[in-house]
Amino acid sequence: MRHETLAGQPRIPTEVSAMTAASPNVKPAYLRIANVWKAFGEFHALKDISLDISEGEFVCFLGPSGCGKTTLLRAIAGLDLQTRGSIQQGGRDVSTLPPSQRDYGIVFQSYALFPNLTIAKNIAFGLENTKRPRAEIEARVTELLKLVGLPDQGNKYPAQLSGGQQQRIALARAIAISPGLLLLDEPLSALDAKVRTHLRHEIKELQRKLGVTTIMVTHDQEEALSMADRIVVMNHGVIEQIGTPTEIYRHPATLFVADFIGEANKFAARASNNAVGIGAASFSCAAHDFDDGTPVIAAIRPEDIIPHASGSLANGATANAIDVTISEMEFLGSFWRTRLHGHALGNETLIADFSINAARRLSLVQGVALTVELPAERLLIYPRGA
């Protein structure tokens, strides 16, 4: 896989770079996507996509609607061939093969179960096309129903099952023929929040048990962060960043990734040597390659901001401490989301998330003055207009 360093992007810490470089624990590529483009007339939905996926890996394609993630999945499945570029699976070039000649199972958002067939018949559908003995097919169906936790539902029809149960059956049907690749096209988006949370855990556990290489398309960042071994963040037909959930969240390579994955404060700023100017204040920040005076965007996540009692930090204790006042507080269950204003920030609003314990310890209420610290390593710098 080729990674290019963009000028002016925040530097990834050495230990992270080493971890994502060649490692003795990294398996060889099972799926290799090389220089894939997809055009619809003059519109390019995919632009020179290259990606390697290891055997047994769970990868999420993540991005907003229209970013190209589903187009890429359909190209891998042979449902919508790429305009140019190649796709190899298990060392075999499948770039131009029809879906029937590719080794995968797929689960769609709409489940696509046959309403006139029983659950057992739905699962057996692909197996029957392989001309296997009836006894073997029945044994496999029984095994899969147990595997997805629905051992007694074989004689029912899809309409008699809940949405979550139907999605489990769709998953059982997809893995019935033991495919080398499992493709999931936003499989949980039609379910309610509690069922979705439960099923994503079950799907991940099932994937680990089977060891099947899996690609899931989603626009839900929480799904990607909780399920994926690696996340491929896409935008406007290109890959913005590839990395583990921790890498993507803690070390976003671009402003788009920082803003799309989680929350981020963004400020128009000016770069200087090992620092950045925001409003009337100057802050130490993560290492960057911008020249002094370059207009940039400074970003920091709300949960990275550290609260202190007003005036509790001695002068010079940290260069990144500013005095602020809480203008608004919003209770979000496990934490308080606050909006802060201070002279050093000018007219800018700083959004900070404080734990319940921190709010209680510091007696935080609307109108209270406090001092907040912006850790230098968490204050990231990006090109203006990126």
Tell me whether residue 195 is exposed, middle or buried, using C-beta atoms within 10 angstroms of its C-beta: 0 to 12, 13 to 18, 19 or more: middle
- Mean pLDDT (the chain) is 90
Pick from 123, 153, 156: which is nearest to 140 by CA?
Answer: 123
* In the predicted structure, residue 2 carries a pLDDT above the cut 60: no
pTM of the predicted model as reported, rounded to 2 decimal places: 0.87
Q: How far apart are CA 81 and CA 86, in angstroms?
A: 10
Tokens of 44: 């390019």
DSSP string covering 116-185, please? Answer: TS-HHHHHHHHHHTTT--HHHHHHHHHHHHHHTT-TT-TTS-GGGS-HHHHHHHHHHHHHTT--SEEEEE
**Range with lowest mean pLDDT among 64-68, 89-93, 316-320, 343-347:** 316-320
Distance between CA 363 and CA 29 in Å, rounded? 53
**Tens of pLDDT along 266-282?**
999 999 888 999 887 88
Strand, coil or helix: 213: strand
Helix (H), strand (E) at residue 89: strand 84-89
- Looking at residue 20, its pLDDT comes to 39
The pLDDT of residue 110 is 84
The arithmetic mean of pLDDT across residues 309-331, rounded, is 83
Contact between 30 and 199 (Cβ < 8 Å)? no
8 Å CB contact between 260 and 236:
no
Beta-bridge partners for 79: none
Range of weakest confidence among 3-17, 273-287, 327-341: 3-17
pLDDT number for residue 281: 85
Q: What is the pLDDT of residue 101?
A: 95
**Res 322 pLDDT > 70:** yes
CA distances from 339 to 242, 324, 328 (A): 32, 10, 5
From start to end of 142-294, where are the E strands? 181-185, 213-218, 230-235, 238-243, 265-272, 275-278, 281-284
- Residue written as token pair 């979705």: 196
- Residue 12 reports pLDDT greater than 80: no
* pLDDT for position 26: 59
Domains of the chain: 14-18+27-260 (3.40.50.300), 267-383 (2.40.50.100)
> Among residues 147, 148, 124, which one has the least CA distance to residue 136?
124
Mean pLDDT, residues 53-79:
97
Q: Looking at per-residue confidence, does 208 or 110 come out higher?
A: 208
What percent of the chain has a predicted confidence (pLDDT) above 70? 92
Q: 76-113: per-residue pLDDT in tens?
A: 999 999 999 999 999 999 999 999 999 999 998 888 89
Q: What is the pLDDT of residue 178?
A: 94
Mean pLDDT of all residues in 147-163: 94
